[in-house]
Copies of this chain bind each other. A is one copy, B any other.
Amino acid sequence: MASPPDTQDETFTDRQQAVLDAVLALMVEQGGELTMNAVARRASCSKESLYKWFGDREGLLTATVRWQASKVRTGNYDRTKLDALALRDSLIRFAANWLGVISSPTSIALNRFAIAQAGGGAPGGGLGAIMLANGRFAIGARLKPVLDAGRDAGLIAFDDTETAFRSFIGLVGRDVQIRLLLGDTLRLTPAEIEADAARATDQFLTLYGTANPVPGLPKTNA
């Protein structure tokens, strides 16, 4: 549980990466009906090669999740020196980036697969654990240094970084992810994402800021 975010960078050949991209495309387009035949047809490869490279269907799905996770990984947001505006900017960029990821069709399709499979037999080694490690826990590990730096700079105050972090992503994500996963036709334009990120960040700073963290920005009761 809560294993390190999959540091074993499994390297795939270009051909294999193309196959995995085909799997992702199929997941996005066709949804839950993903057969080995369809993958082989889409990727123009033989089923024999699929089984040779990935073992079985489970291995193919696992490799796909890891492959996508390796593509999503972005730079860290921590910086050594922070003032109120820089902290706010870091949080907003973080929130906007995360909202963009969780509302992307690829992320939705992948989470659907992981969730569908999380109910089944293997509770530990399933796709759900990989998604958690590379999604929820990975972004926590990336954001917490920012929060701690903000606290060290006296800009925000909290006892438990984890609790503060969870409040932040609650304010940012709200019900977006579950609605999208359930098929709600919710469109998030880049402008809406930016606005939501700013609103959530200001709400977070209202809750956890030590003083008027953002002068000129009154309480956002929008």
Question: Any chain B CB within 8 A of the CB of A179?
Answer: yes
Residues from chain B with a CB closer than 8 A to the CB of A111 are 115, 178, 182
Alpha-carbon distance A186/B137, docked complex (angstroms) = 14
Within the oligomer, what is the number of copies of this chain? 2
Residues from chain B with a CB closer than 8 A to the CB of A166 are 174-175
A116-B112, A206-B206 known; A183 and B31 CB under 8 Å?
Answer: no
Interface residues of A in 145-199 (CB under 8 A from B): 157-160, 163-164, 166-167, 169-175, 177-179, 181-185
Verify B136–A179 contact, CB threshold 8 A: yes
Question: Any chain B CB within 8 A of the CB of A85?
Answer: no
Alpha-carbon distance A120/B112, docked complex (angstroms) = 10
Interface size on A, residues (CB 8 A): 54
Alpha-carbon distance A182/B136, docked complex (angstroms) = 10
A166-B174, A203-B167 known; A182 and B114 CB under 8 Å?
Answer: yes
Q: Which of B159, B171, B182 contacts A167 (CB 8 A)?
A: B171
Verify B173–A171 contact, CB threshold 8 A: no
Chain B binder among A5-13, A41-49, A122-130: A122-130
Verify B136–A178 contact, CB threshold 8 A: yes
Alpha-carbon distance A131/B160, docked complex (angstroms) = 34
Not counting A128-B182, A166-B175, a sample of 13 additional A-B residue pairs whose C-beta atoms are within 8 angstroms of each other reads A111-B182, A114-B182, A118-B181, A131-B182, A132-B183, A164-B221, A169-B174, A170-B171, A170-B174, A170-B175, A173-B175, A206-B207, A207-B219
